[in-house]
Amino acid sequence: MKSILQEENSVIKAVEKAWDISGRPSEFSVKILNFEEKNFFGIIKKPAVVSISYNPEKTVGVPKKIEFQNKNKAIIAKVNQNRVENIKSGQEKVDIDFSKRHIVWKDEYVDHVKSSFKDILAIMQFNVDFSITVENKMLNIFLDKRILKDNEDEKMFFISISNLLMQFLRRKYKKKFSNYYLIIHSKNNKNE
């Protein structure tokens, strides 16, 4: 006869876990050494302790869960190796497909940004022409001249306006627009 001590949050859980660990014997005896103790709020102060005694010759075998986990790990490892080999052999194709899939700025989004940006410039009385280009998830707005004299002030102004334009998009289209980027450049700051 063998015996296993197991403690868990409840007697039932302790018996089930001990039975699984012992190999699910068909005949076994259970002794409850301690019942779980809970405080006023239902939080467990002391776990339940159970002793299970069994004859190792009458066990059913190792639990099936463990066998499945080991098989799954082997299968996953083989699949990952195949993926790595496929990526190495067809790297150029993957890069081309990747760039095509990430063009996400729809024309209606660009038009909304364009009209909103024109309105903002008109309200602030800036007489500036601009052009818009789309590269994957980045929408770039290029101004034909500088708006502010100080580089840092202009940079902070562009960041604020970009955030404001993104908020306009979120409000109108009820979409998160995560990983969408809107960047504003002035004529002298294109390389920054």
Sequence-distant (≥ 6) Cβ neighbours of residue 74 within 8 angstroms: none
How far apart (Å, rounded) are the C-alpha atoms in residues 27 and 43? 33
pLDDT for 162 equals 93
pLDDT for 100 equals 47
pTM of the predicted model as reported, rounded to 2 decimal places:
0.46
Average pLDDT of adjacent 10-residue blocks, the chain of 192 residues: 87 90 87 87 86 78 52 60 51 46 77 94 91 90 91 92 93 88 80 44
Give the model confidence (pLDDT) of 55-89 as tens digits. 877 666 554 555 555 555 666 665 555 554 544 54
Could you give the C-alpha distances from 91 to 78, 84, 85, 100, 103, in angstroms and in order? Answer: 20, 10, 10, 15, 20
pLDDT for 74 equals 62
pLDDT for 133 equals 93
pLDDT for 72 equals 59
